[in-house]
Amino acid sequence: MTTTRENGSLYTHIENKIATIEFGHPASNSFPSELLERLAKELDKVSENDEVAIVILKSEGERAFCAGASFDELVAIDNLDDGKKFFSGFANVINAMRRCSKLIVGRVQGKTVGGGVGLAAACDYVFATEHASIKLSEFTIGIGPFVIAPAVERKISVSGLAELTLDATNWKNAYWAKEKGLYARVFESISDLDKELEIFSEKLASYNPEALKEMKKALWKGTEHWEDLLIERAVTSGKLVLSDFTKKALAKFKK
């Protein structure tokens, strides 16, 4: 079942020390600002929950994992404050994932674009299907993946980020993403993925919670400045989205 709610849906299910956070939106699981805000708050909440050892982040349905930020909201931006606020949505989610005291396992069942690639990159371990191609198409509308770039670069290096960003019209397949380090494991089908994800997450949740927390800290060492950096990047994107180039490009897309 996929949601039909205009602002999307967000559900958390906790069982056997595993918190599964599932998001959904009728437009290919894209994120309006309200849904990003809810996700950031939910991540902060599970971070503090002693009944949770690990987190699984997934999206609804069997098609796209995440189509990035809301296109309708992007088109509606007409001043710098609104631009900064809009692009801060993914900045806040990535920072919530980074500072979450629990390891986050991503389940990427299908194509992912823009901010969705950032979400996958901010997970600590990712299971994907071979349908989980990725694309950073921001250049085509006159902006760039500035907010998510630190998270993507951390996983796939500067050369991988450049390859993905500069080739803005083409998809990279799931095996490319695995080779670069974005995905840990790739499966032929969603059912195969889910079987292995269940085994993996149950094992992980059975380990010493203190060791898991310390490992999370170790993995993210040196990213403390992201709290400011990602908001600075949101301002950069907010300025670019107001440019004539972007306004014209968005008008074409809207048609």
Q: Where are the domains of the chain?
A: 9-190
Mean pLDDT of 52-80: 95
Instruction: Note the pLDDT of residue 252.
Output: 85
2 pLDDT band, cuts 50/70/90, is low
Find, among 128, 131, 116, 126, the residue nearest to 193 by Cα.
128
What pLDDT score does 251 carry? 86
pLDDT reading at 70 higher than 60: yes
Q: Which two tokens stand for residue 156?
A: 């796939």
Q: What is the pLDDT of residues 144-158, one digit of tens each?
A: 999 999 999 999 999
Predicted confidence band at 66 (pLDDT cuts at 50, 70, 90)? very high
Distances (CA, A) of 100 to 66, 91, 183: 21, 14, 20
Query: What stretches of 77-148 show up as alpha helix (H) in DSSP?
Result: 80-99, 115-122
Residue 168 backbone phi and psi in degrees, to 5: -70, -15
DSSP code of residue 151: H
Q: Name residue 55's amino acid.
A: V
Residues 191 and 174: their CA atoms lie apart, in Å, by 17
pLDDT band, very low/low/confident/very high, at 23 (cuts 50, 70, 90): very high
CATH class of 9-190: alpha beta
Helix then strand then coil, % of the chain, to nearest 5: 50, 15, 30
Residues in the chain: 255
Spatial distance between the Cα atoms of 95 and 87, rounded to a whole number of angstroms? 13
- Residue 246 structure tokens: 């972007």
- CB contact at 8 A, 249 and 142: yes
- Name the more confident of 239 and 6: 239
Whether pLDDT at 1 is above 60: no
**pLDDT tens, residue by residue, 141-196:** 999 999 999 999 999 999 999 999 999 999 999 999 999 999 999 999 999 999 99
